[in-house]
Amino acid sequence: MRLKRREFILTAGRAAAGTAILSGVTAFKHIDLEPMTGDVAPITLEERLARIEKARRLMVENKIEALLLDCGTSMQYFTGVNWWASERTMVAIIPAKGDVKYVGPAFEAERLRELIKIGTDIRVWEEHESPYKQIANAIRDMGIHSGNIGIEERLRFFIFDGVRKEAAHLNYVSGDPVTMNCRLIKTPAEIALMKKASDITIAAYKAGVALLHEGMTPGDFGSITADAHSRLGAAGEIGVNFGQASAFPHGSIQPQHLKKGDIVLMDGGCKVEGYSSDISRTIVFGAEPTKRQREVWDIEKRAQAAGFAAARIGEPCENVDKAARKVLTDAGFGPGYKIPGCPHRTGHGIGMDGHEWGNMVLGNRQPLQPGMCFSIEPTIAIYGEFGIRLEDCAYMTEDGPRWFSEPSPSIDQPFA
């Protein structure tokens, strides 16, 4: 349940004593939760048009005649149209030559016209008609009678299958060489939005940490931080796990109630103008960290720093994983994905989607390039004890990596 402002401040007063040991964290009643989005600059029409031109160049290079986009992230990325995925087909088609076309439900046509800023050709289908026939006709009217049609990675199978049956003479191929190579490299405008999202999530975390109190549940914390994100101007979602449950990378189904001395592992983010943050912080609640907690936290800190140091222009993405994992292995964790240790890749790409291309994982030989964005989060999971994860996202510049959010200085000081 969303807390009203008065209830929020009263709760903060009750919680303050339980968080006094955390340096750098101010009691919530002293944190200004005014919106932080007043200076946000949305992606411009000119930038979207430049994206489409880049996509067309890549289509020519890869001998793709047109790119078929389902409603979702890639459609929004290229056209600015944010549409929901339902059983009613709505797609955009970007040709290598010519104007963007859209196919959608007839009863939504006027709403589509409100949203569409690139292209004017909207093909509609009535409830009893086939949307796939309209898509096939639109492709034909682009002058495409043979060749390859690129299918983006998230186009749903029932749409692909319907189009394939209506236009069996065409060849359908992966659209990844286009969509991945466009979305993988972020522009300064995109990076600025992700930086803003990260700043907001850190502010929401500070608010949430100040309200930690004995007996609270993960759901309580999630509600508090969701409300904080909203007050700060963004829609955000934070997951948290306490004590032994923190060893599970994505949580446990077992009931959890916070008690003094518990590890608290929080993980989540928000979106600003469609661009994501993803940050994890790990602290100890209400007590001095044990020697074991402090030692493992410090190993995790070194592993994250090693991953960051290994991110170099022209070097493969896998080097980030190798460097971080070596620190863990040298400390007696693993090897590889074995528990106790890090059971997953060191990082994932991030952009409009919280997880996208550009994983920091063994075997990914993709060279790091300016504009690539990714997380660095070499979790240490110890079943039956606790888990430690420090996650911050970075972006590549010509001079190397930069952090979107400054990493935690120490277990006692979660925020820089």
Closest of 311, 353, 326 to residue 153, by C-alpha: 353
Element (H, E) at 123: strand 121-125
Strands 275-276 and 263-272: antiparallel
Amino acid at 21: I
What is this structure's pTM? 0.91
Which residue, chain included where needed, has tokens 């009643």? Answer: 29
Contact (CB, 8 A) for 381 and 339: yes
Measure the CA–CA gap between 396 and 293, rounded to whole angstroms.
Answer: 32
Beta strands in 162-314, from DSSP E residues, in sequence order = 171-174, 235-242, 263-272, 275-276, 279-284
- Rounded to whole angstroms, the Cα distance separating 252 from 90 reads 37
Please give the Cα distance from 124 to 352 (Å, whole number).
28
Q: Are 128 and 117 in contact (CB under 8 A)?
A: no
> What pLDDT does residue 251 have?
85
Q: Give the three-state DSSP class for 201.
A: helix
List the pLDDT tens digit at each of the 416 positions of the chain.
333 333 333 333 334 333 333 433 333 444 569 999 999 999 999 999 999 999 999 999 999 999 999 999 999 999 999 999 999 999 999 999 999 999 999 999 999 999 999 999 999 999 999 999 999 999 999 999 999 999 999 999 999 999 999 999 999 999 999 999 999 999 999 999 999 999 999 999 999 999 999 999 999 999 999 999 999 999 999 999 999 999 999 888 899 999 999 999 999 999 999 999 999 999 999 999 999 999 999 999 999 999 999 999 999 999 999 999 999 999 999 999 999 999 999 999 999 999 999 999 999 999 999 999 999 999 999 999 999 999 999 999 999 999 999 999 999 999 99
Delineate the domains of the chain, giving CATH numbers in brackets: 5-30+186-403 (3.90.230.10), 45-183 (3.40.350.10)
Neighbouring-strand partners of residue 409: none
Neighbours of 246 (CB within 10 A): 27
Phi, psi (deg, nearest 5) at residue 272: -125, 115
Cβ atoms 249, 387 nearer than 8 A: yes
Tokens of 290: 């044990």
| Bridge partners, residue 124, by sequence | 104
